[in-house]
Amino acid sequence: MKSYQITSPNFTGSIIISYNDEGLLCKFEINASLNLGNIKWLLHNIPAHIDNVMSITHNSTAQIVSVPQDLSFNAFWNAYNYKIGHKARAEKLWKILPDNQRIAAVTYIQKYNSFLIDHPKQDKLYPETYLSQRRWEL
C-alpha cells in the first residue's frame, strides 16, 4: 500500500489517502477540520488511481507528500540521524504522536537538515527536543 498526506492552508490538519497494490484508492483518512467547501473540493479532486495523485497540486494550494512506509520510532531515530540525548524520552514523545504528526515530523527532517546546512552556526537539536518543540510545525 502506498499512502500520501495532503495538507493545505485552507484547512487545519491533514488527510491521508492510500492506494492498494493495483493503484486504486482504498483508504481515505481525515485528520483535519474541514468546511463544506473543503469537502466538495476533496470529493472532486482526490484521484481514484495512484497515477493521478500529483494532479492534486495543480491549480490549488494543497501540498502532497509521500508517507513513509515505516512510522516506527526506530525509523524516525535513523532518519533523524543524531543519536545524542535521551533516546527513551524521545521514544515516549514519539509514541504519543498520532500518525499524521509522525508523518509530518519525519518528512520535515530533510528540510530541517537543509536549514542547518544554510546556518552552520546553528546546532542540531537533540531528537527529544525536536519532538517536544514540534519543530516540523514552525
CA distance 4 to 18: 6
DSSP 23: S
CA distance 134 to 84: 18
CA distance 90 to 72: 12
β-bridge mates for residue 36, sequence order: none
C-alpha cell at 130: 525536536
Mean pLDDT (whole number) for 122-137: 96
CA distance 46 to 75: 29
Model confidence pLDDT, tens digit, residues 105-116: 999 999 999 999
Integer-rounded Cα Rg, in Å, for the chain is: 16
**pLDDT score of 138:** 80
**pLDDT score of 58:** 86
Helix (H) or strand (E) holding 63: strand 63-66
Amino acid at 31: N
Model confidence pLDDT, tens digit, residues 20-71: 999 999 999 998 999 999 999 999 999 999 999 999 888 889 999 999 989 9
C-alpha cell at 6: 495532503
